[in-house]
């Protein structure tokens, strides 16, 4: 709706509506507080709780992780599960806990500040009925179908995308300084197959009771426009379905509203965000975070180029990439290939000859996908 309203304002103001930067002076009031994020899986799947600090709006650089905290999940009946810090600010939970009782999370920071969550009851998220994609002129639409039940009415979907990334020019050779010569690349040296990964920032919420028999039918998860890089060869999306309790829905809705709706004129007032974590010591400083406990249902989907072709992916950034016409002869390998900026792309065997006497080079940015993505194949990845 926001775009629509924008449009009318442009329109009636005879295109007079305009926007200019706005930079008010904001006191450093309450800009440093604890942020807690996590959906802990109650059936033993590895899940993480993330602790971080907020930052002033104009701060640059990454957010500071809250390290060295002691995090435990306690049940009403007294069991206690410790979450180990596996990365900076990332605490691992991997326990199959009973869904029959309630729990609370306890966080003690390095500086001694203590926080606690309100009581949580694990929600058993129903299975994903179907996840698939549709192809039309616009591109690909990934959707999900599920059904709510009496315990799980509200859903949050998140997704994680991974895709194969290929460089414009495949470079099968490598200059090996040890032998002073060019040779074939070996295992671990390949630079023509990489994987890109992105965690989606979208907040997808839906209430199943809005629909007949609580069936959420073909809920759009993401749309991939035709020609997008993601389906240059093989694409995979992992969709996570998490059922939420009502409080958590409110939290995510506020988060979503405060992020996505603020550009519109008729958008509601931004709302104060809180969550289910509070300071045990009654500190008058905010803490933001909604921790949920429940079962995460996941479904992975693969889409191959052949499924969608003609796809017409072409990144104009690399349109100047060519294999040079002029070969680099063997006596010049040393100065040319040593720096790594120029790569031997094709072997040069003169007409009638049988020996490689040089290589046609290309620049590294055209042939090395590790500049843009990871060459390591993710564990889950299944090839066709």
Partner 1 sequence: MRKPVLFFPILFFLLSVHAAFSQQADRITGFFPGISFLRFVDLVEEETSYRFYLKESDVKDLTVNLEARQHRLEEVLAVIFDKTDLKFSISGEQEVFISRGEKMLVAFAPDYFRQNTVGTSSLVQDEFVRNRRYTVGTPGHGAEATLSGVITSLESQKPIEGAVVYERESQRQTITNKEGRYQLTLPKGNQTLLIQNIGGYTEQRLLDIQGDAALDITIGEGIFSLSEVVVRSGALTNVSRPEMGVQSLSVQQLRKLPAVMGEVDIIRGILTMPGVNTAGEASVGFNVRGGAADQNLILLDQNTLYNPSHLFGFFSAVNSDMVQGVELYKAGIPASYGGRLSSVLQVTPKTGRQDKIGGSGGIGPLTSRLSLDGPLGENTTFVVGARLTYSDWLLDYLEERADLGASRAQFGDFNASIQQQLGEKDKLRASAYYSMDKFQFDPDTVYSYSNLNYALTWTHYFNDELEADFSLGQDKYDFAVRGEDNPLNSYLYGFDISQTFAKAVFRQEKGDRHLLSYGIHGIGYDLNPGKIDPYGAESIVIPDEVAREKGLEASVFLGDEFEVSEKLTLSGGVRLNWFGFFGPQTLPEYASGEPYFPENIIGDTSYGKGDLIKSYLGPELRLSGRYALNNWSSIKAGVNTMRQSIHLLSNSSVITPTDTWKLSDAFIRPQTGVQYALGYFRNLENNAIEFSAELYYRSMQNLLDYRSGATLVLNDRIEQDVLVTKGKAYGLELYLKKVTGKLNGSLAYTYSRSLMLTDPSERKEQVNRSDWYPSNFDQPHTANLVLNYELSRRVNTTLAGKYSTGRPVTLPVAKFEYGGSERVYFADRNSFRIPDYFRLDLSVNLEGNHKVNKIAHGSWSLGVYNILGRDNAYSVYYIPEGGKLSGYQLSIFAEPIPFVSYNFRF
Residues 208-237 that bind partner 1 (CB under 8 A): 210-212, 215, 217-218
44 binds partner 1 (CB under 8 A): no
Q: What is the Cβ-side half-sphere exposure of residue 360, based on CA atoms within 13 angstroms?
A: 13
135 binds partner 1 (CB under 8 A): no
Residue of 43, 45, 54, 302 interacting with partner 1 (CB under 8 A): 54
Best CA proximity match to 272, nearest among 247, 260, 255: 255
Residue 50 CB, shortest distance to partner 1, in Å, is 8
Spatial distance between the Cα atoms of 359 and 171, rounded to a whole number of angstroms: 11
18 binds partner 1 (CB under 8 A): yes
What residues between 181 and 200 interact with partner 1 by CB under 8 A? 199-200
40 binds partner 1 (CB under 8 A): no
Beta carbon nearer to partner 1, 42 or 290: 290
109 binds partner 1 (CB under 8 A): no
Spatial distance between the Cα atoms of 121 and 127, rounded to a whole number of angstroms: 19
19 binds partner 1 (CB under 8 A): yes
Give the binding range for partner 1 (CB under 8 A) out of 66-74, 165-173, 203-211, 314-322: 203-211
Residue of 129, 134, 177, 265 interacting with partner 1 (CB under 8 A): 265
Spatial distance between the Cα atoms of 308 and 42, rounded to a whole number of angstroms: 38
Beta carbon nearer to partner 1, 11 or 371: 11
Structure tokens, 40 = 């802990």
> Do the bridges between strand 342-348 and strand 358-363 make them parallel or antiparallel, or are there none, so unpaired?
antiparallel
Cα separation values, 317 from 43, 194, 320, 362, Å: 46, 18, 8, 15
Give the binding range for partner 1 (CB under 8 A) out of 31-39, 128-136, 314-322, 363-371: 31-39
272 binds partner 1 (CB under 8 A): yes
* Residues in a beta bridge with 175: 182
Residue 188 CB, shortest distance to partner 1, in Å, is 30
335 binds partner 1 (CB under 8 A): no
Give the binding range for partner 1 (CB under 8 A) out of 56-64, 69-77, 228-236, 306-314: 56-64
What residues between 139 and 158 interact with partner 1 by CB under 8 A? 158
* Residues in a beta bridge with 215: 147
Residue 247 has a CB neighbour count (10 Å cut-off) of 15
Residue of 80, 101, 197, 259 interacting with partner 1 (CB under 8 A): 259
CA torsion sign, 204 to 208 to 209 to 211?
positive
Whose structure tokens read 């939290």?
251
Beta carbon nearer to partner 1, 26 or 329: 26
Number of residues that bind partner 1 (CB under 8 A): 77
Structure tokens, 130 = 């179907």
Best CA proximity match to 65, nearest among 92, 89, 31: 89
Burial state string for 154-185 with b = 16 or more CB within 10 A and e = fewer than 16: bbbbbbbbbbbbebbbbbbbbbbeeeeebeee
Structure tokens, 22 = 């706005």
Structure tokens, 119 = 């009581």
Give the binding range for partner 1 (CB under 8 A) out of 6-14, 115-123, 232-240, 300-308: 6-14
Residue 242 CB, shortest distance to partner 1, in Å, is 11
23 binds partner 1 (CB under 8 A): yes
Residue 25 CB, shortest distance to partner 1, in Å, is 9
63 binds partner 1 (CB under 8 A): yes
325 binds partner 1 (CB under 8 A): no
Burial state string for 38-69 with b = 16 or more CB within 10 A and e = fewer than 16: bbbbbeeeebbbbbbebeeeeeeeeeebbeeb
CA torsion sign, 57 to 59 to 61 to 66?
negative
56 binds partner 1 (CB under 8 A): yes
Give the binding range for partner 1 (CB under 8 A) out of 179-187, 250-258, 324-332, 373-381: 250-258
Beta carbon nearer to partner 1, 70 or 264: 264
Residue 327 CB, shortest distance to partner 1, in Å, is 42
């Amino acid at each position: 709706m926001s775009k629509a309203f924008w449009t009318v304002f442009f329109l009636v103001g005879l295109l007079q509506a305009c926007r200019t930067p706005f930079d008010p002076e904001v006191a450093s009031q309450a800009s440093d507080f604890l942020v807690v994020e996590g959906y802990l899986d109650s059936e033993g799947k590895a899940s993480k709780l993330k602790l971080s600090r907020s930052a002033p709006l104009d701060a640059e650089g990454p957010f500071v992780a809250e390290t060295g905290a002691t995090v435990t999940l306690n049940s009403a009946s007294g069991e206690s599960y410790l979450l180990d810090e596996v990365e900076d600010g990332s605490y691992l939970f991997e326990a199959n806990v009973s869904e029959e009782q309630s729990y609370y999370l306890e966080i003690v920071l390095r500086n001694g500040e203590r926080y606690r969550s309100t009581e949580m009851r694990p929600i058993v998220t129903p299975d994903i009925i179907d996840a698939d994609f549709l192809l039309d002129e616009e591109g690909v639409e990934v959707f999900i179908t599920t059904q709510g039940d009496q315990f799980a009415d509200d859903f949050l979907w998140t997704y994680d995308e991974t895709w194969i990334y290929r460089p414009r020019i495949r470079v099968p050779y490598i200059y090996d300084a040890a032998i002073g010569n060019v040779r074939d690349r070996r295992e671990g040296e390949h630079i023509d197959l990489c994987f890109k990964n992105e965690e989606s920032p979208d907040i997808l919420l839906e209430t199943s009771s809005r629909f007949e028999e609580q069936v959420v039918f073909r809920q759009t998860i993401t749309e991939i426009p035709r020609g997008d890089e993601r389906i240059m060869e093989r694409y995979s999306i992992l969709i996570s379905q998490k059922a939420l309790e009502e409080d958590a829905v409110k939290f995510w809705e506020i988060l979503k509203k405060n992020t996505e709706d603020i550009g519109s004129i008729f958008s509601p007032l931004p709302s104060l965000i809180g969550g289910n974590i509070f300071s045990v010591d009654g500190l008058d400083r905010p803490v933001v975070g909604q921790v949920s406990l429940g079962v995460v249902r996941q479904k992975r989907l693969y889409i191959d180029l052949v499924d969608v072709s003609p796809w017409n992916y072409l990144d104009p950034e690399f349109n100047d990439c060519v294999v040079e016409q002029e070969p680099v002869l063997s006596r010049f390998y040393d100065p040319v290939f040593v720096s790594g900026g120029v790569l031997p792309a094709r072997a040069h065997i003169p007409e009638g000859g049988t020996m490689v006497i040089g290589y046609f080079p290309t620049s590294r940015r055209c042939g090395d996908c590790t500049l843009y993505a990871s060459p390591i194949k993710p564990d889950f990845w299944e090839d066709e």
